[in-house]
Structure 1
Amino acid sequence: MTDTSAPADADTRRAVAPVICYPNDRLPVPKTEQYQTARATAQQTAHTQVPPRQARCFYVTAGSFFRISCPDGAQVGDLNLFAARNLEERFFSGKTRALHGSHVKQGDRLWSCLPYLRPMATITEDSLAWYGVDEFGGRVHDVIGTRCDPYTHHMLSGQDYHNTCHSNLTRALADELHLSLSEAEAHIHDVLNVFMCTGFTRDSGQYFMKASPARAGDYIEFFAEIDLLGVLSACPGGDCGAEHSSDAAQCHPLDVTVFAPKAGQLDGWYAPSNNRYSRRHAPE
C-alpha cells in the first residue's frame, strides 16, 4: 500500500524556491516608443459593434491599432485571433500565459501557436491597469479561462444552451468565412478573456470569477504585429459577476475600433517572422 503521509523533510521540500520557467526579459522587446508616436496621429479606419450575447469578426492590418471597449457598461469579451490568411496560425493562450502570466497587461504580447510562435499583437493601452491584484487574487484580462461552451453547460445542467461564447465564436467565424458550423468550430480556440476578473482560490485552486470592474468607456488597446482576423464574443454572462452562461445576466455590447497610423510613422518596423526553429525534432 502506498504511503501518502508527509515525509520528515516535508517543510524543507515546500520551502524550495520557485524558478520562472520562461524568463520574459529574454523576449524580443516591442518598440513601445514608436508605437506611441504612431498612435498619436492614427486615424479611425473601421468600427465593429458586437451585440450582447453575440459575436462578430473584424480585420486589422499589421501596423494598425485596435481598441476593444465597453460603450455602455461592464461586459466581458472572449477574443480569438487568427493570422488573417491562415486559420492554422491562431492565438496560443497557454504559451502567452507561460511567458507573461495568468493575466496580461500593457506591454505584454499575444503569441501565436506552434510552429509559428510569434507575436500577433502587443497591448499598448489599458484603462483598467489601476485594478492590479485584489484581496482574493483577482486580476483582469485573463488567459486562464477556456471560454464558456455548450458542452460543459450540458454536462453540468443536462440542458442545451446555444449562446455560449464557444457557440457565438463558431457562428461568427462560419458566417464570415462561409464555413459549415463543424468546419468553423474546429478553429475556435482558448481565448483572451477581455475585462474578465478572475483568479484561483487559495484553498482548492479552483478557477473563480467576480464582477468585472470595467465601466462605460473602459478599453484595452492593441498594436497588430501581423495581419489579423479577430472574432469577439460579448459573453452571455455580462460582467460575469454571477453566472457564466445566462439569459438572465445584464449584458452590453462591445466595440472594436481600428486605427491606422500616418505614413512614415512605422519606418523601420517590420512584422515578425515565423519562429526560426528548424523543425527537425531530432538531434543531429
Structure 2
Amino acid sequence: MPHPDPRLTEAAYQGPALQVDRDFYGRIGAETHRRTLVQEFTVPIRSGMAWEVPAGHVCRISTVEGPQVGDLNLWNRHDPRERFWASRTRQLQAAHVSTFDRLWSTLPFLRPMATIVGDTLAGYGVDAEGGRIHDTLGTRCDPYVSAMLNGVDFDYHCHSNLVRAVLPFGLTEFDVHDVLNVFQCTGLNAEDQYFMKTCPAAPGDHFEFFAEQDLLVALSTCPGGDLSKPMFGPGVTDPVEICHPLGVSVHALDEELLQGWSEPTSPDYRGAHGLAHRPWGAS
C-alpha cells in the first residue's frame, strides 16, 4: 500500500504566531520552587467551582484521591465575551493538548488565554485504541442529553455544575461553553465516532496552565467520575462510587521568571467584514 503524501496530512494551520517560547514556559513549569501559593481548595464530587487567576499566575488542577475527569471553562475576567474556543484550539494546537499547547479565545479576540506548563500525563501518548488525554474533541455532559437518551432529569452534569459555579460572577447558562476535558481519555473509533475510556490518572497527577490574561476559571468534577462505567444508554446505573474530588491551587511567580513576558494581543485585523465595501465581484 503506498504511503500517503505527507503534504496532505500535515497540519492545516501553521505559522510563526503558533510558535511558543519553550525555554520561557519550560522554566515556569520546572522551577516550582519560585512560586508562591495564593489560593488552594478542593472541588467536591459532582460539583463545580469558579475562581479568578490573575495574568502571570499558574493554576494547577490535581487528582487528589483518585482518577477523575474535570470539565474546564475559561473567560476573560473583564469581558466574558472573550472565552475559551475549543474548536479553534483543536485546529491551532491539537485535539488533545499537553505541555506548551495554548488555549485560544473566541473571535474577535483570538489570542492565547493560557499556556499549558505542566502535565504529569504527558507521557501517556496514544494507547492501543487511539485514546489520548486532555481532549477538546467532546464537550460537557448535560441534562438535556441525559433527558433525551436516558429519559431522566439529573442536575449534576458538568453543564449544570458550571452554571451554578459562575452565577455568583454574574454569568448565566448562556456563558457556559465547550470545555477542555482535563484528565479525560478519548478518541475516534473506526466509524469516526467519539469514545471515552477510563481515566488513567493516579492520585497526585496534575495539569497546570499559565494565565496569559486575567481569567475567570470554572471547573466541574464530572458525575461520570473516572468514566470506567457508561453514562448514557439503556440499563445505565449511577456510577457515584467512581467519583473523586479535584484539587485546585493558584500560584504567583517570581518577577524574574516573568521578565520579557507581556499579555498577548489580538490579530491586527482592520477590515470590516466587507460591510463597507461593494459586494464581492461587483463592478
Is the structural similarity TM-score above 0.5? yes
Residue 16 of structure 1, CA deviation: 6.7
Deviations 1:212-245 (A, max 9, x none): 1000000011111111100000000001121337
Residue of structure 1 aligned with 2:268, choices 247, 251, 276: 276
Contact 2:18 2:92 in 1 (8 A): no
Shift of 1:27: 2.7
State yes or no: 1:192 paired with 2:180: yes
**Equivalent residues in 2 for 1:252-267 (5 A)?**
252-267=244-259
Q: Verify: 1:212 aligned to 2:199, yes or no.
A: yes
Match of 1:221 in 2: 208
Offset at residue 101 of structure 1 (A): 1.8
In structure 1, stretches of 5+ residues that fail to align are 1-10
What residue is the counterpart of 1:104 in the other structure? 97
TM superposition score normalised by structure 1: 0.88
Residue type matched to 2:200 in 1? P
Is 1:122 the counterpart of 2:115? The answer is yes
Partner Cα separation in structure 1 for residue 113 and residue 130 of structure 2: 28
Show structure 2 runs of 5+ residues with no match.
279-283
* In structure 2, distance between residues paired with 1:19 and 1:101: 14
Between the two proteins, the alignment pairs up a number of residues equal to: 267
Instruction: Show the counterpart of 1:81.
Output: 74
Query: Quick check: 1:75–1:238 contact (8 Å CA) kept in 2?
Result: yes
Residues 140-159 of structure 1 aligned to structure 2 (within 5 Å): 140-159=133-152
Q: Which moved more, 1:98-107 or 1:186-195?
A: 98-107
Q: Does 1:30 align with 2:23?
A: no
Match of 2:227 in 1: 240
Q: 1:38·1:262 contact (CA, 8 Å) conserved in 2?
A: no
Cα distance change of structure 1 residues 106 and 38 upon mapping to structure 2, 3 Å threshold: closer
Given the two structures, how large is their TM-score scaled by the length of structure 2? 0.88
Matched residue of 2:163: which SS?
helix
Distance in 1, Cα, partners of 2:175 & 2:122: 31
The structure 1 residue matched to 2:131, chosen from 138, 141, 146, is: 138
Residue range with higher mean Cα deviation, 260-269 or 71-80: 260-269
For residues 73-110 of structure 1, give each alpha carbon's deviation from its aligned partner in whole angstroms, at most 9, with x where no partner exists. 00000000000111100000000001112100111000
What one-letter code is carried by the residue in structure 1 that aligns with 2:130? Answer: G
2:256 alignment partner, SS class: coil
CA drift at 1:253: 0.6
- Across the aligned residues of Structure 1 and Structure 2, the Cα RMSD in angstroms comes to 2.1
**Counterparts of 1:244 and 1:80, CA distance in 2:** 21
1:56-95 pair list within 5 angstroms: 56-95=49-88
Measured in 2, the distance between the counterparts of 1:144 and 1:48 equals: 28
Aligned 8 A contact 1:148 1:244 in 2 = no
Q: 1:279 to 1:212 in 2, by over 3 A?
A: farther
8 A contact 1:24–1:100 mirrored in 2: no
SS at match of 1:170: helix
Q: Percent identity?
A: 45
- 2:101 and 2:16 mapped to 1: Cα distance? 13
Distance of 2:199 and 2:143 partners within structure 1: 22
Deviations 1:115-152 (A, max 9, x none): 10000001111100111000100000000111100111
> Which amino acid is the alignment partner of residue 48 of structure 2?
A
The residue number in structure 2 matching 1:6 is none
Distance 1:188 1:178 in 2: 12
How far apart, in 2, do the equivalents of 1:218 and 1:55 lie? 20
- CA distance 1:78–1:199, shift in 2 (3 Å): same
Measure, in 2, the Cα distance between the counterparts of 1:188 and 1:229: 12
The 1:198–1:16 alpha-carbon spacing in structure 2 relative to 1, beyond 3 Å, is: same
